[in-house]
Structure 1
Amino acid sequence: MLLNKPKRKIKLMEICGTHTMSIAQNGIRSLLEENIELVSGPGCPVCVTPSNIIDICLELLKEPNIVIFSYGDMLRVPGSKGKRLFQHKQVKMCLSPLEALDYAKENPNKQIIFLGVGFETTTPGSAICILEAYKQNIKNFFFYSLLKRTEPALRTLLKDDPDIDGFICPGHVACILGEQGFQFLSKEYHKPGVISGFEAEDILCSINLLIDMINQDTPAIKNTYQRAVRYNGNQKALSLIHDVFEPETSLWKGLGNIEKSGLKLKDTYSQFDAKIYFQLPLPENKEPKGCQCANILTGKKKPIECPLFQKICTPQNPIGPCMVSSEGACAASFMYEERL
């Protein structure tokens, strides 16, 4: 595929961890002209989770009857003292929050906490789990919401860096939100966006469309992932999210506190809220010395510009979450792009 030539230097951002990995794996940056800068944004939910969440969980695990469930990558993120959740016998990896709920039913004398990490993609599954726990009146199941909303983060990004010229929009999130979920980019910020699939051809096509819209100064939201994304999104999933959760201010690594960018359980389901039941402290961002994950997540730095990259921080010994996650920019760059 021959790409359109931009009339000026442009900066594009992908905001999906799967796109980040596909871009690196397929060598897409090496195909771009020098005046096209393609940077990674906050597309990995594990990466944007506040740093001390692991420490909070490790403190909870001092109680022998507490068991914590979460997805795989979250369990490998190091706490402030280097300890990781997967090293603890009271921690279990799962693919669905319903696994944690089943465990709670089978072990009524234990307190089960599910770490709900993710964007809109995984939120409907969490909503189903909460509704099921409510229906069955499960007393020993708790949900620690680390869920994030995409739109407020993009607004904050553009406020912080108005020089981003266009976005490769996340296909997975768009399956839930639909094209309508990204219309604000072109209508309010005059920025083009393309909802993209995950194959190399999808991404190159999306970049081509972005260059064309920037050259013509005709920003819009285009959908090249029509095989999965509808204009109005998944209305049933959106209804589930609305029924169970409500927006709250949430802390993001690299972006700080963003109003209405997180999701908490509505009062009807507050009995399952781990933050309330266990009186958990507010999250904080305390980065390991030298770690540049916060700047990498906002496109201010590239992984190779981190002094820890490849020297100390590797997939075998990750220091920051961008190297831990299978969708992190540092892990993608380490495996497929940069070599010191």
Structure 2
Amino acid sequence: MKHVQEFRDPKPAKALIARIGAVLDRIGATAEKPVHIMEICGGHTHAIFRYGLDKLVPPGLEFIHGPGCPVCVLPMSRVDECIEIAERPEVIFTTFGDAMRVPGTGKSLMQAKADGADIRMVYSPLDALEIARRNPEREVVFFGLGFETTTPSTALSIQAAAREGLANFSVFCNHITVPHPIRALLDDPHMVLDGFVGPGHVSMVIGVHPYDFIAEDYGKPLVVAGFEPLDLLQSVLMVLEQIAEGRAEIENQYARVVPEHGNPVSLAAIADVYEARPSFEWRGLGEIDASGLRIREAYRAWDAEEKFGIGYAAGARSVAEPEGCMCGAVMTGRMKPVACPQFGTGCTPEMPLGALMVSSEGACAAYYQYGGARAAEPAE
């Protein structure tokens, strides 16, 4: 714990907060006219509320919670398609636990499991691959879900299945990329964003240069950040210093983990197995060109969409959000979770109406778990 606790030390945290306040004064930011910084990653959102950083920083700073939760941005139609695959008698459907309770239009995967579907929670696609080896008479489908962080492990599993000729294994691919929705948000005339705290785990795979367009095309700073309180406070300070100095650059606060050019082994696996989809639907953002990944022709035998004639292979359909659900507005930073009329009443972790209350990275789950408006001291 030693190397974790030093990133949670209250003394340097207070010093960083004081420096943040001084830079906000230089900028002229106030509670009425704050600087808007979006943390893209859902893990950052939870860290901000876990440590009460939103209440500890001066009032001239406002955190905007971005679409960095892959479970949350998945449209309901894709959940419905998961259930449609899972309820086939020949299928063992495998998934990460985060996706089990995300509502579809009729039920969740958890409810489909209770109804008799063979749905199993796994910790890795390699677990699903092993299930396929042990059950050659069944079709084993892995729910490939996540940003660039989880995409390499799925790609490596598909490569392994191809080498072994494991014909009863396939992936329902819902992997998505981070840079494209950021561009969509920046192109939205209703969004007010002054800078970004960039995702740490995604950047560990892709490096920092895929974000260059944010500074070059939009004149906004981005700082890739770690997940501890001091990481986040330092990253916010770095963003604010760029704004105060009239700069717009891509900087890397998380250099102890994130290499400039990413992980070459992971990037090679992604490039070998996947190609960009022409378009992919995001909850709250609609269709975004080239923002999703699909399995290349060479590995099409392990593509569950093609194998079962479902999803984009069959002509994807869009499904409206449940009445009163404001997940799209919350996820794109247009609304705080507590402003949703369903928050904490019609939508709770026990009975979720939308994905943001289910996922461990969802903004609504963070507000609900940590009290939203409750201040906290940095952990000692």
Shorter-normalised TM range = over 0.9
- The residue aligned with 1:265 is 295
Distance in 2 (alpha carbons) for counterparts of 1:74 and 1:283: 20
Q: What is the CA-CA distance between 1:33 and the residue it aligns to?
A: 2.8
Instruction: Compare 308-317 and 27-36 and name the one that shifted more.
Output: 27-36
Distance in 2 (alpha carbons) for counterparts of 1:228 and 1:334: 30
After superposition, residues 46-85 of structure 1 pair within 5 angstroms as 46-85=71-110
Contact 1:145-1:264 within 8 A present in 2 as well: yes
Residue number among 328, 335, 354 corresponding to 1:301 in the alignment:
335
Contact 2:223-2:235 within 8 A present in 1 as well: yes
Contact 1:51-1:283 within 8 A present in 2 as well: no
Contact 1:174-1:195 within 8 A present in 2 as well: yes
- The residue aligned with 1:237 is 266
- The residue aligned with 2:9 is none
1:98-141 per-residue CA deviation (whole Å, 9 max, x = no partner) reads 11111111111111111100000001101100000000011111
Q: What is the CA-CA distance between 1:57 and the residue it aligns to?
A: 2.2
- The residue aligned with 1:287 is 321
- The answer to whether structure 1 residue 183 and structure 2 residue 209 are counterparts is no
Distance in 2 (alpha carbons) for counterparts of 1:55 and 1:86: 12
Distance in 2 (alpha carbons) for counterparts of 1:167 and 1:339: 22
Q: What is the CA-CA distance between 1:283 and the residue it aligns to?
A: 4.6
After superposition, residues 98-113 of structure 1 pair within 5 angstroms as 98-113=126-141
Q: State the identity as a percent.
A: 38
Q: What is the CA-CA distance between 1:10 and the residue it aligns to?
A: 1.5
- The residue aligned with 2:53 is 28
Contact 1:253-1:285 within 8 A present in 2 as well: no
Q: Which has the larger radius of gyration?
A: 2
Q: What is the CA-CA distance between 1:67 and the residue it aligns to?
A: 1.2
Structure 1 runs of 4+ aligned residues shifted over 6 Å read none
Q: Which amino acid aligns with 2:224?
A: I
Give secondary structure in 2 for the equivalent of 1:238: helix
- The residue aligned with 2:280 is 250
Q: Which amino acid aligns with 2:266?
A: A
- Structure 1 unmatched ranges of 5 or more: none
Give secondary structure in 1 for the equivalent of 2:152: helix
- The residue aligned with 1:129 is 157
Contact 1:14-1:167 within 8 A present in 2 as well: yes
Contact 1:251-1:283 within 8 A present in 2 as well: no
Alignment length (residue pairs)? 340
Distance in 1 (alpha carbons) for counterparts of 2:159 and 2:300: 12
Give secondary structure in 2 for the equivalent of 1:135: helix
1:158-179 per-residue CA deviation (whole Å, 9 max, x = no partner) reads 1015521100000000101112
Distance in 2 (alpha carbons) for counterparts of 1:178 and 1:57: 31
Q: Provide the aligned C-alpha RMSD in A.
A: 1.5
Change in Cα spacing, 1:84 to 1:95, as seen in structure 2 (3 Å) is: same
Residue number among 305, 310, 317 corresponding to 1:275 in the alignment:
305
Q: Which amino acid aligns with 2:81?
A: I
Distance in 2 (alpha carbons) for counterparts of 1:104 and 1:241: 22
1:213-260 per-residue CA deviation (whole Å, 9 max, x = no partner) reads 111110111111010011111111111100110001111111111111
- Structure 2 unmatched ranges of 5 or more: 1-15, 375-380
- The answer to whether structure 1 residue 141 and structure 2 residue 148 are counterparts is no
Instruction: Compare 160-169 and 290-299 and name the one that shifted more.
Output: 160-169
Q: Which amino acid aligns with 2:223?
A: V
Change in Cα spacing, 1:296 to 1:93, as seen in structure 2 (3 Å) is: same
Using the size of structure 1 for normalisation, the TM-score is 0.96
Q: What is the CA-CA distance between 1:337 and the residue it aligns to?
A: 3.1
